[in-house]
Structure 1
Amino acid sequence: MKITPVIGLLVLFFSLAGCATDRGLAPDLNGDQISVTIKVPEELIAEEMQVMYRSKLCTFTDYTASGVPYLRDGYKRTDIQPVRMGQTDLYEANLAVDGGGACQWRLSNVTFGVMYKDPAQFGDGVVYGAGGGIIVMFDENNPGRAGVYKKVEGDLILKKDYYPWVHERFIGGHKKSVNLTGDGHIYVRYQALMARSVYFEPVLHSGFVARSVGPKVKSEGHRTIYYYPDGSSSPERQIQPSFRKLQAIRLAAEAQE
């Protein structure tokens, strides 16, 4: 039977459409890698890392706020648990830059951090909340979480102070949580285009606990009250304790020792 050019093109079209691209990751473990190392304090544990890859081959259609369609790079996430290095307090993961596969995935960013091992040490019913998170961007793509970022040349070495913060919430349901509060919000973001090594050392000041109690009704004049380790307290609009005040309280106490 003779196949006309039009029928031939239709056959070719449906053959290609029916043969979906395998979008799986196939990282090159012998290729270029970025090491991420976390020095974990005794009371904390390393969270699972969220590693994002992007592809310019496997795109998808997204829409602007006005409904105009446009193509975006494809993205795919994989989660990696950092591994303890011997009997040390260092935990490490190696991230393949080349994600491989038919989509030719490339490493885009990694989200990682630390959290409390035992939130119940702060009281019955206390759960872990948030904080202690880091996002490192290895390309020009926005990782999807709001916030500004710092640009870093070369490898990234971070040493950051954190304080325990116990918050009691009433609006939306009663809940007590312990958080890690530091210089920034839940996630602190960095862009390190040339990095091949990332080192994160969170310094936990366990003896300086901040506490807060949220309002019981949502109305003007009702604010969260923050209680600081020096005995002071104040109602404030901010969503976390003042890092500068906590630093000042700790440094003053250490100076008197």
Structure 2
Amino acid sequence: MKLTSAIGLFVLFFSLAGCATDRRLAPDLSGDQIVVTVKVPEELIAEEMKVMYRSKLCTFTDHTASGVPYQRDGYQRTDIQPVRQGQTDLYEAKLAVDGGGDCQWRLSNVTFGVMYKNPTKFGDGVVYGVGGGVVVIFDGNDSGRGGADRKVEGDLILRQEFYPWIHEKFIGGYEKSVNLKGEGFMYVKYQALQARRVYFEPIVYSRFVARSIGSREKREGNQTIFYYPDGSSSPEIQSEPSFRKLQAIRLAAESQK
């Protein structure tokens, strides 16, 4: 009897422990949600959204730079493809705030954006590079791409301007890419703790193209030269075209019409 009871208790304990370590997401789609909408220009497409959840129950051990162990909140990611709304240019995804599961996951952040639908319109063999991305943080944690650049109260309504930037690189293999150069370049990062709606409208000025050609070999003093749509050129400290220069060129051109 004692042996049987012991075995029964062990099985019960093992079963409970197994449940406690089940880290799967189970989002509650009937509960609180955050709606993310992207208005997509004709030449672009909406990228898949990378949605991050965190848990204070299911933690894991990490280490500092000096090797000291400490506990961190657990995290899980799920990818969601935004859905086109009828025949409009709006694409939408609904994110459950409650990630569910035994870990009681909670929505932490989402990464999304746009990219060129057909990069070869800029030349044979051209691929899409970077830019056009947005990170929105809904809690006090940094995202996988770092902390927020800006904080907003309430919903986030974001309209951002972009310019095409064509770059040729040689070091590490030849590649010609088209990038979306915005004010924050690769990703703009916002913290929006009270948001229940996120709206992103990228505005692309496709007539104003920046170009650059990378160095063919690593040598001290080599610089990438950027060529602007008004015919001017210059090196840039940040190794990317100047958003301010592109804005000034466009505004000057539009004022002359």
Taking structure 2 as the reference length, the TM-score comes to 0.94
Distance 1:146 1:21, change over 3 A: closer
Structure 2 runs not aligned, ≥5 long: none
Distance 1:141 1:204, change over 3 A: same
**Number of residue-to-residue matches in the alignment:** 256
Point out the more displaced range, 58-67 or 108-117.
58-67
Q: Deviations for 1:105-142, whole angstroms, at most 9, x for unmatched residues?
A: 10000000000000001111110000000000000011
Whole-angstrom CA distance in 2 between matches of 1:148 and 1:107:
16
Give the aligned partner of residue 59 of structure 1.
59
Any idea what SS the aligned residue of 1:248 has? helix
Query: Residue type of the partner of 1:237?
Result: I
Identity in percent: 76
Q: In the alignment, is the contact (CA less than 8 A) between 2:148 and 2:191 conserved in 1? A: no
Query: Residue type of the partner of 1:218?
Result: K
Distance 1:239 1:9, change over 3 A: farther
Shift of 1:55: 0.7
Shift of 1:31: 0.5
Q: In the alignment, is the contact (CA less than 8 A) between 1:224 and 1:237 conserved in 2? A: no
Q: In the alignment, is the contact (CA less than 8 A) between 2:142 and 2:148 conserved in 1? A: no
Superposed CA RMSD in Å reads 2.0
Shift of 1:147: 5.7
Any idea what SS the aligned residue of 2:254 has? helix
Give the aligned partner of residue 104 of structure 1.
104
Any idea what SS the aligned residue of 2:252 has? helix
Distance 1:137 1:242, change over 3 A: same
Any idea what SS the aligned residue of 1:254 has? helix
- Indicate whether 1:211 and 2:211 are aligned: yes
Any idea what SS the aligned residue of 1:94 has? strand
- Indicate whether 1:194 and 2:214 are aligned: no
Whole-angstrom CA distance in 2 between matches of 1:15 and 1:209:
61
Q: Deviations for 1:225-245, whole angstroms, at most 9, x for unmatched residues?
A: 100000011123322100000
Give the aligned partner of residue 172 of structure 2.
172
Superposed, which structure 2 residues align to 1:14-163 within 5 Å? Answer: 21-146=21-146, 148-163=148-163
Whole-angstrom CA distance in 2 between matches of 1:31 and 1:20:
23
Distance 1:70 1:8, change over 3 A: farther
Q: In the alignment, is the contact (CA less than 8 A) between 1:223 and 1:237 conserved in 2? A: no
Query: Residue type of the partner of 2:55?
Result: S
Q: Deviations for 1:5-45, whole angstroms, at most 9, x for unmatched residues?
A: x9999887666555662211111111100000011010000
Shift of 1:217: 1.4
Shift of 1:75: 0.5
Shift of 1:197: 0.3
Point out the more displaced range, 8-17 or 63-72.
8-17
- Indicate whether 1:222 and 2:209 are aligned: no
Whole-angstrom CA distance in 2 between matches of 1:152 and 1:242:
26
Point out the more displaced range, 219-228 or 6-15.
6-15
Query: Residue type of the partner of 2:109?
Result: N
Taking structure 1 as the reference length, the TM-score comes to 0.94
Distance 1:97 1:190, change over 3 A: same
Distance 1:170 1:155, change over 3 A: same
Whole-angstrom CA distance in 2 between matches of 1:148 and 1:34:
18
Following TM superposition, the consecutive aligned residue runs of length 4 or more in structure 1 with deviations greater than 4 angstroms are 6-20
Whole-angstrom CA distance in 2 between matches of 1:2 and 1:84:
63
Point out the more displaced range, 21-30 or 186-195.
21-30
Whole-angstrom CA distance in 1 between matches of 2:21 and 2:10:
19
Q: In the alignment, is the contact (CA less than 8 A) between 2:137 and 2:148 conserved in 1? A: no
Q: In the alignment, is the contact (CA less than 8 A) between 1:165 and 1:178 conserved in 2? A: yes
Any idea what SS the aligned residue of 1:251 has? helix
Distance 1:14 1:98, change over 3 A: closer
Whole-angstrom CA distance in 1 between matches of 2:213 and 2:95:
41
